[in-house]
Amino acid sequence: MQTIQNNKIQEKIYTEKLSNGLNLMIIPKKTQKKYIIWGVNYGSIDHKFMVGDKENTVPDGIAHYMEHKLFEQENGTNSLDVLSSLGVNANAYTTNNHTAYLFEDNNEKFLEALDEFMNYVQNPYFTDENVEKERGIIEQEIMMYDDYPDWKLYMNAMKAMYHKNPINIDVAGTKETIAKITKDTLYEAYHAFYRPDKMAIVVCGDFEPEKLIPEIEKRMTLQNATQNVKRLYEEEPKEIVQKQVEAEMNISMPIFMIGYKDEVACENQIKKDLALDILFNILIGDSSELYQSLYEEGLLQSEPTFIYENSQTYSHVLIQGQSEKYDEVIKKIEQGIENLKQNEIQDEVFDRIKKKLYGEYVKSYNDVGSIATTFIQNYFRNINPLDYFEEFKGLDKAYTMQVLEEVFKPERKVVSIVKSK
């Protein structure tokens, strides 16, 4: 067992590679809540891959479909129901690049729940009947998201930005693609990616690592496959697909999203994450001059949302807001970016925002769910979240200005609008 410690925030991480090769991270916290999350480095964009010398293409939406189906057990029970009956809050989710299964325990039933949790993730039970039964449920979910304005806004931005990267495909797939999912394609994808070398478990709460590790180890039955797995992606052009895309939906006020397609390669991803956080806060955060003026003019009612997504195959920043006069707001934000490039950042503003963000990062370590989720997400980005606190020290204005110039390029900008019908 190894330990990673950050004395500044008094956090210690215990890590152990289990006998089958899976990485386990334990973060002790003196709290009643206990949280566990099991992540699989398999998401919606991984629909083409090689297993040994064999090339495989599975239908879009299969990672999400599998997340649904793993709960169903051969004995006729549903593991989600079993965990709920124990009084634990269980869930799962699928993203572009990983799938996660989790539960939170407040009533000292952790080990009992752990039995069910580790059993269902490691023992898939797919039949023609139960796969077909799930199809209608997922079709309804796809239709629901099609009617969700924020999701429409985001997906339209991805389609405007990316030519070939499958991030421009809905995580759940489409009604047509999920019609092609069978028990055989599910098993094919499961055996390719649900293996210890593509997984990690993070546990956070009031645990003694030396006692918890053997409890997890003895419930572990998965073994690594002998054949290597390689993901296949088409090369993505640097250019965007189109500058603007609009949709109409039944909403009370239009919403907008400004996106900038970014370079994938980055020497120091943590440092870039921090620089982008600072830039957004300076540009359009709730204490910025631009936001205050837009708010006073009635053009914005709340602070816009900033999103930075990146992986080995895609990278972009997104600014999302809501306004009746979205065209005017978008122009002012674009002008604010150009003004920041020309005039640079004031030293006192940079230092104030940097201190504010540092405090927010420290505060995020108060919640076991937030901690565990952050660690599992960053594990698949090859990042240790504790390193953010070290990178804060070396982050300066010059590097932040460099990121501003490199990321916010007008020729790589897209705009997505969802207007009121």
| pLDDT-based confidence at residue 337 (cuts at 50, 70, 90) | very high
Tens digit of each residue's pLDDT (9 = 90 or more) over 232-268: 999 999 999 999 999 999 999 999 999 999 999 888 9
Tens digit of each residue's pLDDT (9 = 90 or more) over 46-68: 999 999 889 999 999 999 999 99
pLDDT for 4 beyond 90: no
Tens digit of each residue's pLDDT (9 = 90 or more) over 85-140: 999 999 999 999 999 999 999 888 999 999 999 999 999 999 999 999 999 999 99
pTM equals 0.93
| pLDDT-based confidence at residue 7 (cuts at 50, 70, 90) | confident
Q: What residue ranges define each of the domains in the chain, with the CATH number in brackets?
A: 2-231 (3.30.830.10), 244-420 (3.30.830.10)
pLDDT for 198 beyond 90: yes
Q: What is the mean pLDDT of the chain?
A: 94
Q: What is the pLDDT of residue 347?
A: 93
Tens digit of each residue's pLDDT (9 = 90 or more) over 390-407: 898 889 999 999 999 999
Tens digit of each residue's pLDDT (9 = 90 or more) over 231-241: 999 999 999 99
Stretch 266-284: mean pLDDT: 94
Give the C-alpha distances (Å, rounded to integers) separating 402 from 284, 321, 345. Answer: 18, 25, 12
Q: What are the tokens at 275?
A: 């620089």
| pLDDT-based confidence at residue 325 (cuts at 50, 70, 90) | very high
- In percent, how much of the chain has pLDDT > 90? 86
Per DSSP, the residues of 245-279 read EEEEES-SS-EEEEEEE--S--S-HHHHHHHHHHH
Residues near 212 by Cβ (< 8 Å), separated by ≥ 6?
Answer: 26, 203
| pLDDT-based confidence at residue 188 (cuts at 50, 70, 90) | very high
Q: How far is the C-alpha of 100 from the C-alpha of 376, rounded, in Å?
A: 8
Residues near 76 by Cβ (< 8 Å), separated by ≥ 6?
Answer: none
pLDDT for 338 beyond 90: yes
Q: What is the pLDDT of residue 8?
A: 73
Q: What is the pLDDT of residue 398?
A: 95
Q: Which residues are catalytic?
A: 67
Describe the strand order of the beta sheet including 54-57 as a list of residue ranges. 54-57, 48-51, 229-231
Q: What is the pLDDT of residue 344?
A: 84
Give the C-alpha distances (Å, rounded to integers) separating 245 from 153, 154, 160, 161. Answer: 9, 11, 7, 10
pLDDT for 283 beyond 80: yes
| pLDDT-based confidence at residue 81 (cuts at 50, 70, 90) | very high
